[in-house]
């Protein structure tokens, strides 16, 4: 499931390998992935342009094009990935494709068809990026109310980029119970949580994704805490399956 680390790796790949290549054709026929655009609309807008910059906030990617052209937004959904200069998916999982005039291609590859490709994406509804949020903004946006801290971290309007796996990993690293009310955390705990979040993001980006976290192997029935050996607990927080150590996370 792509979270911030996977999306940042995709952004870096686009930045390294897909910029300054002229778009010769666009396959935007999947009307669900390319909604609300009609088939051919994105091709008419993008053909002849080059991608010149790749950006990310949370789990949303967007690319600027040259000469004041349109902005292309991509979202990986639940199982998507960016495939650059790879052969077309034999199973038809390339839901949106840019064909470059040098013969290469960039595809949004998504077996579950939950990703999105859209022109002029809106990012104003997203909170600050989890990798960059300041201490003051984190305290203000996170540390209030009765909402469980895990649910608050996963609210993309509060902080952009944290999903279910990362939230469990971060809270385990910070030794904070995911069920605690966000407003009950002290400023010291909020500061520790932010530092842990940023360190976890840097580490998982470097290693290749949220699945590389130290707590991930314990996220199963009767899983064992990697630090203390206690059996982890499982429950539902914010509508999502949640795992935590009952001994260390308080």
Is residue 35 annotated as a catalytic residue, yes or no? no
Q: What's the whole-number average pLDDT of the chain?
A: 97
Is residue 150 annotated as a catalytic residue, yes or no? no
pLDDT in tens, 42-81: 999 999 999 999 999 999 999 999 999 999 999 999 899 9
Is residue 128 annotated as a catalytic residue, yes or no? no
Q: How far apart are CA 175 and CA 192, in angstroms?
A: 10
Model pTM? Answer: 0.93
Distance of CA 67 to the CA centre of its chain: 29
List of domains in the chain: 4-119 (3.20.190.10), 135-244 (1.10.8.50)
Question: Is residue 1 predicted with pLDDT exceeding 80?
Answer: no
Question: Is residue 83 predicted with pLDDT exceeding 90?
Answer: yes
| Over residues 192-221, mean pLDDT | 96
Instruction: Identify any residues that bridge with 148 across adjacent strands, giving them in sequence order.
Output: 181
How far, in Å, are 200, 212, 216, 232, 234 from residue 228 at the CA level? 20, 19, 15, 10, 17
Q: How confident is the model at residue 243 (pLDDT cuts 50, 70, 90)?
A: very high
Residue entry with tokens 């909604």: 35
Distance of CA 41 to the CA centre of its chain: 27
pLDDT value at residue 134: 97
Q: Name the catalytic one among 111, 175, 192, 240.
A: 240
Q: Name the catalytic one among 2, 5, 121, 178.
A: 2
pLDDT value at residue 219: 97
Q: Which two tokens stand for residue 53?
A: 């910059």
Q: Name the catalytic one among 9, 11, 21, 59.
A: 59
Q: How far apart are CA 155 and CA 207, in angstroms?
A: 25
Is residue 240 annotated as a catalytic residue, yes or no? yes
Q: Is the peptide bond before 226 cis (omega within 30 degrees of 0)?
A: no
| Over residues 111-139, mean pLDDT | 96
């Amino acid at each position: 499931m792509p979270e911030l680390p996977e999306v940042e790796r995709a952004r870096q790949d686009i930045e390294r390998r897909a910029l300054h290549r002229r778009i010769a054709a666009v396959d935007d026929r999947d009307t669900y992935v390319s909604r609300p655009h009609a088939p051919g609309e994105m091709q008419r807008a993008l053909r002849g342009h080059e991608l010149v910059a790749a950006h990310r906030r949370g789990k949303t990617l967007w690319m600027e094009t040259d000469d004041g052209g349109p902005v292309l937004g991509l979202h990986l959904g639940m199982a998507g990935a960016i495939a650059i200069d790879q052969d077309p998916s034999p199973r038809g999982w390339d839901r949106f494709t840019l064909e470059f005039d040098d013969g290469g291609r960039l595809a949004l590859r998504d077996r579950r068809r939950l990703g999105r490709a859209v022109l002029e994406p809106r990012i104003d509804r997203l909170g600050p990026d989890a990798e960059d949020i300041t201490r003051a903004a984190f305290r203000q946006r996170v540390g209030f109310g009765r909402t469980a801290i895990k649910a608050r971290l996963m609210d993309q309007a509060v902080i952009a980029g944290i999903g279910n796996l990362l939230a469990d990993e971060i809270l385990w690293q910070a030794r904070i119970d995911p069920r605690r009310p966000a407003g009950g955390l002290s400023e010291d705990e909020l500061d520790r949580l932010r530092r842990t979040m940023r360190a976890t993001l840097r580490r998982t980006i470097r290693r290749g994704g949220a699945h590389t976290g130290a707590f991930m192997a314990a996220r199963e029935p009767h899983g064992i805490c990697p630090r203390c050996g206690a059996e982890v607990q499982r429950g539902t927080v914010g509508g999502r399956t949640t795992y935590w150590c009952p001994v260390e996370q308080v």
